[in-house]
Amino acid sequence: MGSFDIGRHGGRMFTNLIDWYSANAAILLVVLVGSAIALEQVRRRADGSRDDVGSARTSLTSGLAFIVVKSIVSKLAVASLALLVYDQFRLFTLDLANPWVWVVVFVMRDFIYYWVHRAEHRIRLLWASHMVHHSPQTIGFTTAVRVPWMEAVYKPWLGLWLPLIGFHPVAAIALDALAATMAQLYHTESVRRIPVLERLFVTPSAHRVHHGSNPEYIDKNFGAVFIVWDRMFGTFEPEVAPVRYGIGHERIDTPVKALVGGYPALLAETRAITAWPERARHLFTAPT
């Protein structure tokens, strides 16, 4: 997709920082994720509580497949379309030298993510993909990378609102990397509660609840960065009872199962329904 230069707009120190981060965001994310996983494994070995090797292999396979598919989809299709939207159809020309532009767009991005994430839990067609991320029986930094490749097919298209409002596509990549970095850090049990942050931000405690299969924890705490959306729309739940991880009786515990997700089961359910309107309706109802 190339790079962009916002230095000409002024605010030299800020724009230099943004230019540098945008050019190196992907590398920084890979380094951070790799380092976090390595350090976690060292700590667990020291504690005598090593990760299940099979689960870690499943997570890493899923994460690599996601990266490959996202690279293909983003570079061959979404990137070109995003640049076209930005060049030909943008509604505004946002001043990327203004820090408040980044703050407002980042908040808007998180608000939209909340609703997309909530839909992934309430629509079978999307849950069949997203359930892969919820399938580990524990939570840790390897859980964060168990992202289904199917999300790399549909999620990039949902970000085309960014170039439409005048936010440069390369700048959007920087925001994606920042959000992914933050998501990596709250997939852990090492940090218990952070009361001073929990009113505004997603914390490890809030996200552990999101991964819980306890009845009171199911479909709670959808926020990616800000927990305020859950508080506003009635989906917040504090961590009180010990969290039981996973997706109940279902198991996605091999690389092959992670790569197909819940789609074989969903296909079988749909084929068992005789009427086509009911089949279509089934795909968009909430999973049970």
User: What's the pLDDT score for residue 76?
Assistant: 79
User: What's the pLDDT score for residue 85?
Assistant: 95
User: What's the pLDDT score for residue 107?
Assistant: 96
User: What's the pLDDT score for residue 111?
Assistant: 97
Query: From first to last of its 288 residues, what are the pLDDT tens digits of the chain?
Result: 555 655 554 456 676 776 676 677 667 777 877 777 777 767 667 676 655 678 888 998 999 999 899 888 877 788 889 999 999 999 999 988 888 999 999 999 999 999 999 999 999 999 999 999 999 999 988 888 999 999 999 998 999 999 999 999 888 888 888 888 888 888 988 888 888 899 999 999 999 999 999 999 999 999 999 999 999 999 999 999 999 999 988 889 899 999 999 999 999 999 999 999 999 999 999 998
Q: Is the pTM higher than 0.85? A: yes
Q: Do 175 and 82 meet the contact criterion of CB atoms below 8 Å apart?
A: no
User: What's the pLDDT score for residue 48?
Assistant: 65
User: What's the pLDDT score for residue 10?
Assistant: 45
User: What's the pLDDT score for residue 9?
Assistant: 46
